[in-house]
Amino acid sequence: MEEDKKISQLSVADAIDGTELIPFAKNGDNGAVPASLLKGQQGEKGEKGDTGSQGPVGPKGDKGDGFTTEQADKLNALPSKEELDVELNKFVTSEPTDSVLEEIEPNIVTDALRKTKQTLSGAERNQALENLGNPEMKTFIDLWDSVCDPYGKYNTSTGFFELNEITDITYEEAIEIYKYKQIMPRPISIDESTFRTNILVSNALSEYDRVGNIHSLFRSSSIETIRISISTYGFRPSSSIPIIIRGRKLRKVLGVIDAISIPSDWLPLRDNNFPVLSDITIKNLKKNMNISAAPALSLESMQYMVTNAANTSAITITVHPAVYAKLTDTSNTDWNAVLTSAAAKNITFVTTE
């Protein structure tokens, strides 16, 4: 009979099929049960282990749609960051020089010069004129200086034409002004245009030259200053019809207007639209006059008018309410003195209100 072995001496099987007898001891007795009767019980849940290492990279996805040819060309045309930094540093760190400008794409500079109004100094204007080789303009400058002297000239420092106290006349504006050049003794009537002032010249000013039958001489709403006469004799109108029809921008009437030949009540300014006219010089006034269209007349204009009046009987001068308020303001000493002087010469000021 085979000697019983201890459990520890039994051989270990690789697998069981349920028919094997599993020995056991209980209360001092030995026994055995078939392996098929044994059923394992689930043990307690163990603690969660540490996170494992990252798994391998998954397979590459399908290739998406690429850029269109047009998109790719635009992207390829963009400068790199390094190229942008280089260009920006040129303008941030120093003044643009000719060498820098030459590196800019030519059409960019051309467009900028074509679309942007350029402001040049007088020296730059003259240099541009020389560079362009503009003989027509050079000839016109000589003509302008000859005709406009002593009331105007071409200013080589500013590059502008000057005339009748306007100092920023452009070449194009000067040509327009010259077209309306006035020749005494019979100045032509100036109608609507874009000119800013007028040229008035005379070769021989005589007593006859000073008499003008021209009425409505100026009717341009663009004119800023008017040269009405070129001597101390003054321009002598012989009609009571207005001399100046429109003057929305008119600031000054330069030269003397001699009113000695005005036959009746006179309205030198018409249309009630001379908001900025400050200077007008009138002498030998003998008839009633209405200048109420000008609210901004200067003290000097009013003083000259009264001092040089030639009336031998009572006359009335109608002025704008703004002018009348200054004349009648006793606290406004200089203006109120004009009212006093007028009364002494039998001149009365009235207004439209």
Per-residue pLDDT for the chain (353 aa), expressed as one digit of tens each? 455 555 555 566 666 676 777 776 677 777 776 766 655 555 566 677 677 677 676 676 666 566 677 777 776 777 776 776 666 665 554 445 445 545 555 555 455 544 455 566 666 666 665 554 565 777 889 889 998 988 999 999 999 999 999 999 999 899 888 887 765 544 555 555 678 888 876 543 444 445 454 445 566 778 899 888 876 677 888 778 777 777 889 999 998 989 998 999 998 887 778 999 999 999 999 999 999 999 999 999 999 999 999 999 999 999 999 999 999 999 999 999 999 999 999 999 999 87
- Residue 30: its pLDDT value, please? 74
Q: Tokens for 345?
A: 């010469």
Tell me how far apart the alpha carbons of residues 240 and 264 are, in angstroms, rounded to a whole number. 6
- Residue 334: its pLDDT value, please? 97
Tell me how far apart the alpha carbons of residues 23 and 10 are, in angstroms, rounded to a whole number. 11
- Residue 227: its pLDDT value, please? 86
- Residue 90: its pLDDT value, please? 59
Closest C-alpha among 218, 152, 163, 210 to residue 184:
210
User: CA separation (Å) from 183 to 85, 102, 169, 186, 228?
Assistant: 65, 52, 21, 6, 11
Q: Tokens for 123?
A: 């020296």
